[in-house]
Amino acid sequence: MVDYHIHTVRCGHASGEVAEYVRRAQELSLAEIGFADHLPLVIGMKDPTLAMRHEELDDYIAEIEALKTQFPGIIIKTGIEADYFPGYEQATRDLLSRYPFDYVIGSVHFIEGWGFDDSRYIDGYKTRDIFDIYKAYYELLEAAARTGLFDIIGHIDLVKKYGFVPEQDVTTLVGKALGAIHDAGMCVEINTAGLRKPVGEIYPGSEILKRCFENGIPITFGSDAHAPGEVGMAFERACAVAGQAGYDMFATFAGRVRSFKALARK
């Protein structure tokens, strides 16, 4: 198994030393991990609790390189989680192109500047229509996929995080996003962080995961760990849901080139 979604203290809302994350992965016998901390926000938003600062990016890369030497017994990849901001595609492309990432996770955490997955701004769900939120979210996801900037879509149904579900059917919206993800040759991650959130579900839920499989979209795995103890969290369950959806392979990345490994069924 791989855990491709691991954060570091640089983002301002994670804890622990990077070596502790690696040790935890080794305790769990993970063959491979990848750090994917939050890329500096290209929109110039200055909130030190959301992402690393631009001047920290070099150190982030260097720290992961040092870990590879320090821990030769486990494969360690250099990833990044980049936000999709419409209108900032070129700035994002320029920033990403400066570093030798193994993979880039593209995530939508903002709807017109509203950090909808941030507990500080949860009141936003009271002042907006839930279906409108879902519609805006999946349209952003579709647009994110169409940029071709990313290899993996992060926590694809993050919009369910606080348990708000629209009454209207979102099948078509999700389907359009999945079509774009497929066309872009991207993967989705099975992200176990949702189990630690109010929704109490893996991202994506079983229905969307099944549709990913039907659409020929590959998967990879991520815990979205923001603390060493969260590395590889609930991966047996993640593996089981992948198998139930029909998957028998998962994707790994090196230098932004994808390969596949057999999924061990338990």
Cβ nearer to Zn ion, comparing 79 with 154: 154
Dihedral over alpha carbons 32, 261, 160, 128 (to 10 degrees): 90
Is residue 10 within 8 Å of residue 52, measured between CB atoms? yes
- Residue from 78, 107, 223, 252 touching Zn ion (CB under 5 A): that is 107
Quick one: which segment of 126-134, 151-159, 198-206, 229-237 binds Zn ion (CB under 5 A)?
A: 151-159
- Would you say 186 and 217 are in contact if contact means Cβ atoms under 8 Å apart? yes
Number of other CB atoms surrounding residue 94 within 10 Å: 11
Q: Where are the beta strands (DSSP E) in 99-155?
A: 103-107, 152-153
Examine residue 191 and tell whether it contacts Zn ion (CB under 5 A).
no
Q: In whole angstroms, how close is the CB of 114 to Zn ion at the nearest point?
A: 15
**Which range, of 93-101, 120-128, 152-160, 162-170, touches Zn ion by CB under 5 A?**
152-160
Q: Smaller CB distance to Zn ion: residue 107 or 192? A: 107
- At closest approach, how far in Å is the CB of 79 from Zn ion? 12
**To 5 degrees, how large is the angle CA 224–CA 230–CA 235?**
80
Q: Which residues bind Zn ion (CB under 5 A)?
A: 107, 154
